[in-house]
Amino acid sequence: MESCEHLYVYSLVEDYLKYVSQETMFEAPPSRAAEVLRKIAPSLQEEVEKKLELLWDSVEITSVDKASKIFNKVMEEEFSDGNTNWGRIVTIFLFGGILAKKLQKQGVVLTKENTREISHFIADYIINTKAKWIHENGGWVSNSYAQILFNTIISLVRKY
Residue 69: how many other CB atoms lie within 10 Å: 13
Domain range enclosing 123: 4-159
H or E stretch at 89: helix 86-105
Mean pLDDT, rounded, for 9-27:
84
Band (34; pLDDT cuts 50, 70, 90)? confident
Mean pLDDT, rounded, for 77-93:
91
**pLDDT higher than 80, residue 120:** yes
pLDDT number for residue 103: 93
Report which listed range, 25-29, 40-44, 62-66, is most confident: 62-66
**pLDDT higher than 80, residue 142:** no
Look up the pTM and report it: 0.83
Mean pLDDT, rounded, for 28-53:
82
Q: Provide the number of structural domains found in the chain.
A: 1
Whole-angstrom distance, CA of residue 133 vs CA of residue 86: 10
Q: Domain holding 30: CATH number?
A: 1.10.437.10
- Indicate the residue type of 9: V
- Indicate the residue type of 32: R
